Amino acid sequence: MLFKDILGQDHIKNHLTKSATAGRIPHAQLFVGPEGSGTLSMAIAYAQYILCGNIDQENTSGNEVCNLKFEHFSHPDLHFVFPVATNEDVKKHPVSANFLTSWREFLHDNPYGSLFDWYKKIGVEKKQGQIGVDEASEINKALSLKAYEGGYKVMIIWMADKMNTAASNKLLKLLEEPPNKTVFILITEHLDDLLQTIISRCQVLDFIGISESVIAENLVSRENCDQNAALKIAHQSEGNYNKALHILKKDADEYPFEEWFIEWIRSAFKAKGNAAAILDLIKWSENIAGLGREVQKQFLNYCIYFFRQALMANYQAKELVFFEPTVSNFNIEKFAPFVDGSNINDIFKELETAIYHIERNGNSKIILTDLSIKLTRLIHKKQ
């Protein structure tokens, strides 16, 4: 994967190529960016630039054999670590090495894919993946060996915020005293979930969402999308190329988040002064609680997105409203007046608190029922 294949982020490409060409390669870098911004793709391109000597990114003038290995993500001096969990094939002590075949397929299919896409790929979408202490031991083993081709070794840790405490502490020791000619590239979408001591030992590069024009252009050139449809999808994607691909392929609705949200909203409005409607909210909470924790977290993040869109609609920021409802008899303009400055911060706080407790294995039924009652009160709150 070459830098020319990466969408946008030209300022980061220039920084990485100039520093690497000048021989100034930090031993630890942290790529921070939202889903679909290309952090993983950039990390792989950077690793290829270092290991294969691709000074001319347009003509691939580096080591052709090395570049061929990167086409299959199988270079012996390129190492990957990513969140995993037990599944039908791996019954205990899961580590990244157990899933390398699936990982390479995942990268080949869509290097802009999300963590949830990855969990679905390996059949653990109802679990919570992590990077555990067993993984940290594997990292130590891999980096204790000499580089296969005598140069650098590159360790890409995708979604580094999923490291548990034990793994984080072991990695911290490696970052403090890294093996010779070893480059760590940590990737995260949630900087606050990483230990501050790890962040302080990395050079941080901040990624931004991809521009609508770049997304539209690539949907046309790479996916044979119609120009008008590409422009519309690019606008809806909010700088997330992965989301754009899901919209294009019409597979974003594998889980009917929009239907669940609108069902909740309608029950919440009925619940004011109506004891019978409270039962509907409890039933709704039980249904969502019956799903896997990762699905629950995805849904609650979708709720945050939906409320944000309603707020933009309420304040007439139409250029920032990307949502187009598919559920019949629902109009975001009619819902928008119930979301404003008097309640939006509290709504976000309650949703984020629910995500926090679900991620830490709290009782989903209790968490979601409590959330439903609190949000019911908040959407009826007046300025």
Report the residue count for the chain: 383
DSSP state of 99: G
Q: DSSP letters of 342-362?
A: TTHHHHHHHHHHHHHHHHTT-
At 3 the pLDDT is 87
The tokens for 6 are: 């990466």
**Cα angle 152, 155, 157; round to 5:** 160
Rounded CA-CA distance 14/202 in Å is: 19
Rounded CA-CA distance 212/218 in Å is: 10
Instruction: Give which of 345, 327, 180, 177 is closest to 263, Cα–Cα.
Output: 327
The tokens for 284 are: 């709704």
User: Which residues, 6+ apart, have CB-to-CB distance to 170 below 8 Å?
Assistant: 133, 136, 137, 139, 140
DSSP state of 318: G
Q: Residue 382 CB: number of other CB atoms within 10 A?
A: 7
- How far is CA 316 from each of CA 50, 310, 313, 319, 336, rounded to the nearest angstrom? 48, 10, 5, 9, 10
Give the pairing type, strands 203-206 and 78-81.
unpaired
Instruction: Name the β-bridge partners of 203.
Output: 29
CATH class of the domain at 3-206 = alpha beta
pLDDT by position in tens, the chain (length 383): 888 889 988 999 999 998 888 888 899 999 999 999 999 999 999 999 988 876 444 444 457 788 888 888 889 989 999 999 888 888 888 899 999 999 999 999 889 999 989 998 998 877 788 898 889 888 988 888 888 877 889 999 999 999 998 899 888 888 888 888 899 999 999 998 899 999 999 999 999 999 999 999 999 988 888 888 888 888 888 889 998 898 888 754 567 888 888 888 888 888 776 767 788 888 888 888 888 888 888 889 889 988 988 898 888 887 777 777 777 778 888 888 888 888 899 999 999 999 989 888 888 899 999 998 888 888 876 54
Sheet-wide strand order for 28-32: 78-81, 153-157, 182-188, 28-32, 203-206
Q: Is the pTM of this model over 0.85?
A: no
